[in-house]
A and B are shown apart, each in its own frame.
Chain A
Amino acid sequence: MAGFQVISRTTGDHFSCQEGQSVLKAMELAGKKCVPVGCRGGGCGFCKIRIVDGDFECGKMSKAHVPPEAIDKGEVLACRIYPLTDLTIECVPQPEAAFEKQTTTKA
């Protein structure tokens, strides 16, 4: 139950992540909310983070959100990242929510 420690430099949250478990899944199970949760399948780009420190493995991610050069900069999708060491992450700001006049839509 030790696993690897993941620390969010943006929010100060930290949680442990088992081997073979995605960072996003570990975060959800720990009840933390530091990374936005979207499709959990590497397709929507919602869970984009920057890995500031640590080693990891990647699953398949949409090229639209993670072009090959982004991986080198550590800009990846938390739902497709499997830590190999402890990780320090940073949240990447989301693009503006795209639905027009969304401010008026919360019931």
Chain B
Amino acid sequence: MKKGVMRPGHIQIRVLDLDEAVKHYTDLMGLIETDRDDQGRVYLKAWTEVDKFSVVLREADEPGCDFMSFKVVDEATLVQLEKDLIDYGVEVERIPADELKDCGRRVRFTVPSGHAFELFADKKYTGKWGVSSVNPEAWPRGLQGMKAVRFDHALFYGPELAAVYDIFVNVLGFYLAEQVLDPEGTRVAQFLTVSMKEHDVAFIHHEEKGKFHHASFFLDTWEAVLRAADLISMTDTSIDIGPTRHGLTHGQTIYFFDPSGNRNEVFCGGDYHYPDHKPITWKAEDLGKAIFYHDRVLNERFLTVLT
């Protein structure tokens, strides 16, 4: 049952070289730089997003993901969910307002897969970039590169998926949209949603804790995915695989890497989810087709190359 978690709000990504990373996420992917802070972090957003930022880049000597944050409907919901997490036995940390510029207080917790997540209720509303909220034009001029539409979801690798499921589904009100089951019936992948999207966050089983697989950005059309592929070649950006289609979620996709080795995805399409939908199951024996619907074979990189 939904409990007031609305959507992905932002993700903080560690990069080895800030300038190279900013160039990648802005010039190539089409995000817009909206601010920087005195810790040196850079704030970015995609043009259709109404809040001030959705991606934060932090320079560090090890790439990966610091945390992913979800926006909840209001402060009362944040208070309630914080209490629910504590009652469930999850340790929470309170991050004060404005630790990230123009973002309200955040409630941070780490799930048993080793990944940090946050909830927050407020962030400065700056509106869609480059278009008015009255009689808006179809799209703004001046977008760069892939013209990413929104930060859409992230995929994490780590252990203890069942315990992670309990927190997301039972405490935070996410739904299981799709799963991969091994022959013994153990869930080795879970795609979770709080929206009509087929996933807002996903996990794949992996022995090592806290690994980051990819941050994904939505594009409108298959044509835009092919154009993204062209741009990846034009800029000699490190490609992983694609353009192709996923079995899981049926999205049309391409994977590539940022200059620090963090994986990115841009995709379009995909199935939708309502709360009365039962989970879709893929068999681990058919994982090749589940992940890469056309090749029907996994590239080893997809399972092992992580930050």
Q: Give residues in A with beta carbon < 8 Å to B.
A: 36-44, 46, 60-64, 94, 97-102, 104-107
B62 touches A64 (CB 8 A): yes
B61 close to A43 (CB less than 8 A): no
- Expressed in whole angstroms, the minimum distance between the Cβ of B240 and any Cβ of chain A is 8
Contact indicator A107/B296 (Cβ below 8 Å): yes
Q: Which residue of A lies closest to B182 (CB)?
A: A101
- Chain A nearest CB from B243 CB (Å) reads 19
Query: Residue B301 at the A interface, CB < 8 A?
Result: yes
Q: Is the interface of A mostly helix, strand, loop or mixed?
A: loop
Stretch at the interface among B164-172, B194-202, B283-291: B283-291
Contact yes or no, B289 A99, CB < 8 A: no
CB-based nearest A residue for B183: A104
Q: Is there contact, CB below 8 Å, between A106 and B260?
A: no
Q: Which residues of B contact A44 (CB under 8 A)?
A: 261, 305-307
Residue B188 is within 8 A (CB to CB) of chain A in the complex: yes
How many whole Å from A94's CB to the nearest CB in chain B?
8
**CA–CA, A39 to B241, complex, Å?**
11
| Cβ contacts under 8 Å, B204 to chain A | 99
Separation of A13 and B17 alpha carbons in the complex (Å): 32
Query: Which 10 pairs across A and B sit closest by C-beta, in order of nearness?
Result: A43-B261, A107-B288, A39-B261, A41-B261, A40-B238, A38-B305, A105-B287, A60-B16, A43-B63, A63-B61
- Asked whether, in the complex, the Cβ of B257 is within 8 Å of the Cβ of A39, the reply is yes
| Interface status of B303 (Cβ within 8 A of chain A) | yes
Quick one: which of A40, A62, A98 contacts B307, CB cutoff 8 A?
A62
* Residue B205 CB within 8 A of the other chain: yes
Question: Shortest distance in angstroms between B24's beta carbon and chain A's nearest beta carbon?
Answer: 10
A105, B298: Cβ atoms under 8 Å?
A: yes
B12-56: which have CB < 8 Å to A?
16-17
| Nearest chain B residue, comparing its CB with the CB of A104 | B285
Tell me the bound Cα distance from A94 to B300 in angstroms.
12
* Chain A residue at smallest Cβ distance from B157: A98
| Bound complex: CA A73 to CA B205 (Å) | 33
CA gap between A46 and B304 in the complex, in Å: 8
The interface residues of chain B lying within 8 Å CB-to-CB of A63 are: 61-62
* Chain B residues in 8 Å Cβ range of A60: 16-17, 260
Q: A99 touching B303 by the CB < 8 A rule?
A: yes
Please indicate the chain A residues that have their CB under 8 angstroms from the CB of B298 in the complex: 105-107
Tell yes or no: B263 within 8 A of A by CB: yes
Q: Whose C-beta in chain A lies nearest to the C-beta of B59?
A: A60
| A62 in contact with B61 given A46-B304, A105-B288 (CB within 8 Å) | yes
Known contacts A62-B62, A107-B286; A102 and B260 CB within 8 A of each other: no
Within the complex, the shortest CB–CB distance from A82 to chain B, in Å, comes to 15
